[in-house]
Structure 1
Amino acid sequence: MLKKLVLIVLTIIAIPLIVAVFTENSYEVERSVIINKPKEKVFNYIKYLKNQNFYSKWAQMDPNMLKTYRGIDGQVGFVSAWNSEKEDVGAGEQEIIAIDEGYRIDFELRFLKPFKSTDPAFMVTEAVDDNTTKVVWGFSGHMDYPMNLMLLFIDFEQVIGDDLQTGLNNLKAILD
């Protein structure tokens, strides 16, 4: 009987681990919004990470979080860091790693708590016409084995996508 119980427990543990081997371990999310301002004005606003405090859903989740900055905002190497007592906000930092002036800004997000992860993100501006700009905000995530099993149960594309869209809608409200 003990032998059967051990076999059942091992099977229960092994099945999810085997499934995780065949489960995707990354995801990509992009959302966009149309803003009724020229591309240059929109880009010159989004390239400054401190401005995310006014439109990013994540930056607004804890008004008491500690925010620190290193470097010159709007330039490669600038780091915006946060630390919150709220578990869903946690601690981490975002660094500007590349700027294609007037078009694209690339970030590296380094989450420190409640979990450690380093993921890329970006924002792109595209002129629709002289006075209208499309802004695309994208994020890529990776989950190591066996944590990638969570991708079967949580729709990260939807959850993160909704947060990106909220931020973009806030950005539109500010700039329109």
Structure 2
Amino acid sequence: MLKKILISLGVVIVGFVGFVSTRPDTFTVQRTAKIQASPEFAFALVNDFHHWNEWSPWDAMDANMKRTFEGAAGIGAKYGWVGNDQVGEGRMTIEESKPNELVRIKLEFLKPMETASTTTFEFKPEEAGSLVTWRMEGNHNFISKAMCVFMDMDTMVGGDFEKGLASMKKVAEAEATKRNEERMAAEKAAAEKAAAAAASANPAPAAGATAATPTP
């Protein structure tokens, strides 16, 4: 009886391994959001890793996560993290950066298992705002293929992308509104200063004063 059970189990395992091997070798996860602000605002939040805690969906998963930074922003900047089981351990490196257009990042997970993928953010101007696309592409190893039999990458990561873009939208739009209010206030102050200067240079006649009669 035990022999039959072991043989049946072996057949199931071999069948499962065979099925897993037929799964796709690559994956792509992509989400897009429209932001009511010009591309520069969302771009700044991605191109500088110091701003990721303002919108990243993963930073909120571990309040005690340890972060390290190298470089200020743009190409060559690095961000590393070590956290709980939800966030694991990994690092990101910006490999390409085009102002207000694109940021391409090498994403490496070290724990719970080693994987590497490419993350790309694209920023396109649109009427009354911009369109931000967040895409992740990579290769599957056997373990990740096996995991995706039960839950694919789009299901596992797509929801986080949506949360991240929603937070990015909120932060970018708030900064755009603040910047616009500051500009309007500066313009108003400049106009008032100019008006005051003009009034000082050309004072109005005193009340009751009469114009001098020219001598014939």
Alignment pair present for 1:13 and 2:13? yes
The correspondence of residues 21-170 of structure 1 with structure 2, limited to 5 A, is 21-72=21-72, 74-84=73-83, 86-129=84-127, 131-170=128-167
- Could you give the per-residue CA deviations for residues 66-114 of structure 1, whole angstroms, max 9, x where no partner exists? 0011122x22111100001x11111111110111222000001110111
* Distance in structure 2 (CA, Å) of the matches to 1:146 and 1:113: 14
Greater percentage in helix: 2
Asked if the contact 1:54–1:60 (Cα under 8 Å) also holds between the matched residues in 2, the reply is no
Q: CA RMSD in A?
A: 1.6
Unaligned runs of 5+ in 1: none
Asked if the contact 1:32–1:136 (Cα under 8 Å) also holds between the matched residues in 2, the reply is yes
* Distance in structure 2 (CA, Å) of the matches to 1:44 and 1:57: 17
* Distance in structure 2 (CA, Å) of the matches to 1:35 and 1:147: 33
* Distance in structure 1 (CA, Å) of the matches to 2:144 and 2:104: 26
* Distance in structure 1 (CA, Å) of the matches to 2:156 and 2:3: 43
* Distance in structure 1 (CA, Å) of the matches to 2:82 and 2:2: 48
Greater percentage in strand: 1
Amino acid at match of 1:138: R
Aligned positions, number: 173
Asked if the contact 2:91–2:107 (Cα under 8 Å) also holds between the matched residues in 1, the reply is yes
* Distance in structure 1 (CA, Å) of the matches to 2:48 and 2:32: 18
* Distance in structure 1 (CA, Å) of the matches to 2:41 and 2:6: 65
Greater relative CO, 1 or 2 (CA 8 Å, sep 6+) = 1
- SS of match in other structure, 2:136: strand
Unaligned runs of 5+ in 2: 174-216
Amino acid at match of 1:98: E
| TM value normalised by structure 2 | 0.75
| TM value normalised by structure 1 | 0.90
More displaced 10-residue stretch of structure 1: 97-106 or 136-145: 136-145
Pair member with larger Rg? 2
Distance apart, 1:56 and its partner CA: 0.8
